Structure 1
Amino acid sequence: MNITLNNGVEMPALGFGVFQTPPEQTVASVAEALTVGYRLIDTAAAYGNEHEVGEAIRRSDLDRDEVFIETKLWISDYGYDEALHAFDKSAGKLGVDQIDLLLLHQPLPTAFEMTIGAYKALETLLADGRVRAIGVSNMMPDVLARLLEQTGVVPSVNQVECHPYFSQPNVQQTDSEHGILTQAWSPIGGITSYYGGEGAKTTFDEPVITGIADEHGKTPAQVMLRWHMQEGRSAIPKSVKPTRIAENFDVFDFELTADQLAHIDALDTGVRRGPDPAGLTLESHSLDIPEARRGDTPRE
């Protein structure tokens, strides 16, 4: 199942994420995902595993154009020249000449001129054919409006926290109005387990979701991913367990009813579980993103 982005590029709706996947586990997990059938792999410079993602793709029997590679630049590499160099670092680690989708990882509103510079670098990379599509991540409507006022290319994607307990309908609405695809990170609410607090209810234990899962003979995770698919979002679940990797991909043989979709929509609490994008600053979240390793070469 593919989604056509606002610049005509086709992207798989369901992808495989590697957030918090240790480098030593990344090659095996991405290889398993590719074997199962995933064709969109999402990583980021800040994850520290771009090299391993590229290695798994190189080891596969798939041609380069069969795998849609998505990565993100970190705030430490914002600014026009800095972002151009950050592309070189990411492309080198991934072992590719062209990245399919390149995002700015955070909006960095406290140094927004650097964000604008970085996005203009993405526009240059797009015009030069070094990326096929560009976008943003964790960008709220007010900050998106500022970006659109100062740049020329509408982002193709806005990747944000989105799961049944925090679906950000205002963000989705704004994205839709501009032809931007909303892509969900933590799409099955794994973050509700990490940051929900002791005894907090998680999406996996939500009676509405477990009840719908029982009706379809599916798991709660599969129901949540199907919810994203049917409502037109992209989703990038992650796992290092082969059974879960396969389970999360097995979502194309059933359909939720309109009532079931509405019941899941109604679970939104408006409470963010991940970090507030407005609170990330260079002082608090700067990272040293290393150069590509010697010997990293583009794949033919």
Structure 2
Amino acid sequence: MQPSPNNEGRSLIQNKKKWTSIFNRNSEWRGKIWIYGSAIVVILSVIAITLFLTVQGLRSFVVDHINVIDFITGTEWYPDRAENPSYGALPFIFGSLTVTILAAILAAPFAIGSALFMTELAPKWGQKVLQPVIEILVGIPSVVYGFIGLSVIVPFMRTHVGGSGFSLLSGALVVGVMILPTITSISADAVRAVSHDLRQASYALGATKWQTIYRVVIPAAKSTLLTAIVLGMARAFGEALAVQMVIGNARNLPNAISDPSATLTTIITLSMGHSTTGSVLNDVLWSLGLVLLIISYGFILLIRFISRRGQIS
């Protein structure tokens, strides 16, 4: 007896539903494996980098018996001295923190002002003008920033401020321009996230646009704006090449922001090629990298703290 066409149709439909269900279940499992696998790879990568840098960075204290306090607070860096070489990292820690703070002070007002212009004053055409500019600034390589700083900022500082022109301030100006897009983008998102009802309530009470921006929008987005600034500082703290070209790479503590200095990243890049694996200098450079990592983790903890306080308030 031949099956009827209706039975054949129902059988095909059932088989199709069966295989579709199996395919959907397999797709769901593949998606879960991909997502969880990606998260595990990222976590393991961070743990591996941290452990590797910690082990390498502690060698100078454990194997080479360099005093930790002298390393952190020492102001003399003469690793190539034949007798009594000194490894004082304080000038480089000071230089890194100073360049980072100055860059944030210089960039934050312009970045937040640009974000407010794009979102509050000219949301239609302001973003069309500023967004491409921000994208261009992000895409410029750091060596180009350094070369522009070497060609423009250093001669300007030499003529109008004095000295050689290679200074902390020159490095801060270059890095400030580099972190400007980061702070601007996050600040613009923070301002857009402020509820429109708050603005309408302010206007209903008779406030002007500037009063609303100053007394309503900025306080409401304060925690995220601070997070944007700290993220920009974290970006500035790890910059090496552009800063290296304009800061002067001096080994001593500067007396003013117009004096040459060096940062943790610049001294590592300058010295790593002249050290051999297993030597005292190589171990000390790894210790500088460990200090850099610890301070970077400090920026991350500060961001988490600011974000948590913003959620609580």
Q: Higher strand share goes to which structure?
A: 1
Instruction: Return the index of the structure with the highest Cα Rg.
Output: 2
Task: Looking at secondary structure, tell me which structure has more helix per residue.
Answer: 2
Tell whether the structures are fold-level matches, with TM greater than 0.5: no
TM-score between both structures, scaled by the size of structure 1: 0.23
